[in-house]
């Protein structure tokens, strides 16, 4: 018997966990406790479709993860707008900000992550925006209607997606990135250069190797930024996308082990056997990194963790070992990544014969770490199969667009 499973956080991980437990155990008692006032929603559209949407009444259709009726039909208790403020591990109960207490047999932390704040003078002025929640997306969309100029601080995926959306409505868009190139930890140089060129072709200026040191104030609002190189960029609004920190406050105060995320074992169990952690907030042993802990921020990771944990809570379960993948969309281009390419020392590029897309195979020695595909969905699907089957495709085969990756993945003996 599963008992009462209480999930803290109604995001991708929390909702998938409840759905998967319910599918396996019709009798489990399930509760999701959410801090936000809304029904659970998809985050990826917040920096894509939602920002450009002209009919905001369609928002809930675009972003809703499940309708209220679904939670009722599945007998999943959903409490929104009432954050959990404390875990009592001895009593096996959580306390909510309203004062209510909820007892659990199994507690699941699916608290996600929070935006890293830009701690510079003027960083808290009106006109400085962040993007993590639905409410922030609606505010940013409304601010972008001014049509003036915007500086996006941070050239990560979210910053670049915001820049791409803003370029359609703003007179001037500048991205300021502290590293020497875009996305240094996430993608190869080949893909980074391609993205940078795409932004340039759409009129977005990208400044790399400069960090923002100050926000300029005018009439009580953000009116520009100053960079470490002394560059002054006047603007009407600033959007900050400089990364996130895992939401671990509850775990820390409960005395759970935390180190850049709630530390879990390969079964997603924290240092308290009745408490698990999944999604953005969890640091778990990487199947590929010689046992090192890794923390990932992606829908695939959140959903994969949720399914893995649900299997353990309702049966025997198995260690989490999924190959990570991620996607971004900018200017209509679909960029899909599989594997973790940090530490690669060689790349092999395969281009479509009609030049409409390409894939970058990233190797460390002979080992295939990951593959990035731009408008090459077939390559992405094939590369996932290769990595799932641990096949280090020979570089000379990787370069040939006629080579069917899926066929190799399913026919070659695993390395």
Q: How far is the CB of 45 from ligand FAD (least distance, A)?
A: 8
Terminal-residue alpha carbon distance, the chain? 39
Please tell me whether residue 47 binds ligand FAD under the rule CB under 6 A.
yes
Please tell me whether residue 163 binds ligand FAD under the rule CB under 6 A.
no
Please tell me whether residue 358 binds ligand FAD under the rule CB under 6 A.
no
Please tell me whether residue 111 binds ligand FAD under the rule CB under 6 A.
yes
Please tell me whether residue 239 binds ligand FAD under the rule CB under 6 A.
no
Closer Cβ to ligand FAD, 137 or 369, answer by number: 137
**Contact criterion met (CB below 8 Å) for 285 and 270:** no
Pick the piece of the chain touching ligand FAD (CB under 6 A) from 34-42, 174-182, 307-315, 357-365.
34-42
Candidates 76, 110, 206, 239: give the one binding ligand FAD (CB under 6 A). 110
SS (H, E, C) 324-368: CEEEEEECCEEEEEEECCCCCCEEEEEECCCCCCEEEEEEECCEE
Closer Cβ to ligand FAD, 6 or 368, answer by number: 6
Please tell me whether residue 160 binds ligand FAD under the rule CB under 6 A.
no
Q: Output the CA torsion 82→85→89→94 (10° steps).
A: -20
**Contact criterion met (CB below 8 Å) for 20 and 46:** no
Q: How far is the CB of 410 from ligand FAD (least distance, A)?
A: 25
**Contact criterion met (CB below 8 Å) for 243 and 159:** no
Closer Cβ to ligand FAD, 217 or 388, answer by number: 388
Please tell me whether residue 131 binds ligand FAD under the rule CB under 6 A.
yes
Please tell me whether residue 8 binds ligand FAD under the rule CB under 6 A.
yes
Please tell me whether residue 44 binds ligand FAD under the rule CB under 6 A.
yes
The closest of 254, 332, 278, 233 to 87, measured between CA atoms, is 254
Candidates 71, 284, 320, 326: give the one binding ligand FAD (CB under 6 A). 326
Candidates 22, 28, 35, 408: give the one binding ligand FAD (CB under 6 A). 35
Q: How far is the CB of 359 from ligand FAD (least distance, A)?
A: 18
No. of helices (H) and no. of strands (E), the chain? 12, 26
Q: How far is the CB of 41 from ligand FAD (least distance, A)?
A: 8
The closest of 17, 6, 133 to 79, measured between CA atoms, is 6
Please tell me whether residue 280 binds ligand FAD under the rule CB under 6 A.
yes
Please tell me whether residue 36 binds ligand FAD under the rule CB under 6 A.
yes
Q: How far is CA 127 from CA 120, 155, 225, 339, in A?
A: 14, 19, 12, 37
Please tell me whether residue 250 binds ligand FAD under the rule CB under 6 A.
yes
Phi, psi of 363 (to 5 degrees): -115, 150
Rg of the chain in Å (alpha carbons): 22
**Contact criterion met (CB below 8 Å) for 262 and 135:** no
Q: How far is the CB of 106 from ligand FAD (least distance, A)?
A: 16
Q: How far is the CB of 80 from ligand FAD (least distance, A)?
A: 9
**CB-count burial class (<10 Å; 0-12, 13-18, 19+) for 136:** middle
194-223 residues near ligand FAD, rule: CB under 6 A = none
Give the per-residue contact string, 286-305, with ligand FAD (x = CB under 6 A; - = no).
Answer: -----------xxxx-x---
**Contact criterion met (CB below 8 Å) for 272 and 284:** no
- Residues making contact with ligand FAD (CB under 6 A): 8-14, 33-36, 43-44, 46-47, 83-84, 110-113, 131-132, 158, 247, 250, 279-280, 297-300, 302, 326-328
């Amino acid at each position: 018997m599963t008992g009462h499973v209480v999930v803290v956080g109604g995001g991708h991980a929390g909702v998938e966990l409840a759905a998967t437990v319910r599918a396996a155990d019709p009798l489990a008692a399930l509760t999701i406790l959410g801090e936000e006032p809304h029904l659970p929603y998809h985050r990826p559209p917040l920096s894509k479709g939602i920002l450009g949407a002209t009919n905001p009444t369609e928002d809930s259709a675009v972003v809703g993860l499940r309708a209220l009726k679904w939670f009722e039909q599945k007998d999943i208790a959903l409490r929104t707008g009432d954050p959990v403020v404390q875990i009592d591990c001895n009593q096996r109960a959580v306390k909510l900000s309203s004062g209510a207490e909820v007892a659990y047999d199994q507690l699941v932390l699916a608290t996600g992550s929070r935006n890293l704040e830009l701690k510079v003078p003027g960083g808290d002025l009106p006109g400085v925006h962040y993007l993590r929640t639905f409410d922030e997306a609606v505010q940013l969309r409304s601010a972008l209607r001014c049509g003036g100029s915007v500086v996006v601080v941070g050239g990560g995926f979210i910053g670049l997606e915001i820049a791409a959306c803003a370029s359609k409505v703003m007179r001037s868009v500048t991205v300021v990135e502290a590293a020497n190139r875009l996305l240094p930890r996430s993608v190869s140089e080949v893909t980074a250069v391609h993205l940078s060129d795409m932004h340039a072709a759409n009129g977005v200026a990208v400044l790399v190797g400069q960090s923002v040191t100050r926000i300029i104030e005018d009439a009580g609002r953000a009116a520009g930024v100053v960079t470490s190189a002394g560059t002054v960029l006047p603007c009407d609004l600033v959007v900050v996308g400089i990364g996130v920190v895992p939401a671990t406050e509850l775990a820390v105060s409960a005395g759970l082990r935390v180190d850049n995320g709630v530390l879990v074992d390969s079964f997603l169990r924290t240092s308290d056997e009745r408490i698990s952690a999944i999604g953005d907030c969890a640091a778990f042993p990487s199947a590929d990194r010689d046992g090192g802990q890794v923390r990932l921020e992606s829908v695939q990771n959140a959903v994969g963790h949720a399914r893995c944990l649900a299997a353990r809570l309702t049966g025997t379960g198995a260690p989490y070992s999924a190959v990570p993948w991620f996607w971004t969309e900018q200017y209509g281009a679909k960029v899909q990544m599989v594997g973790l390419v940090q530490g690669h020392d060689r790349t092999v590029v395969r281009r479509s014969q009609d030049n409409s897309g390409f894939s970058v195979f990233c190797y460390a020695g002979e080992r295939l770490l990951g593959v990035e595909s731009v408008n090459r969905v077939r390559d992405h699907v094939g590369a996932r199969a290769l990595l799932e089957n641990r096949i280090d495709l020979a570089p000379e085969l990787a370069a040939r667009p006629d080579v069917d990756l899926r066929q190799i993945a399913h026919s070659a003996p695993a390395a």
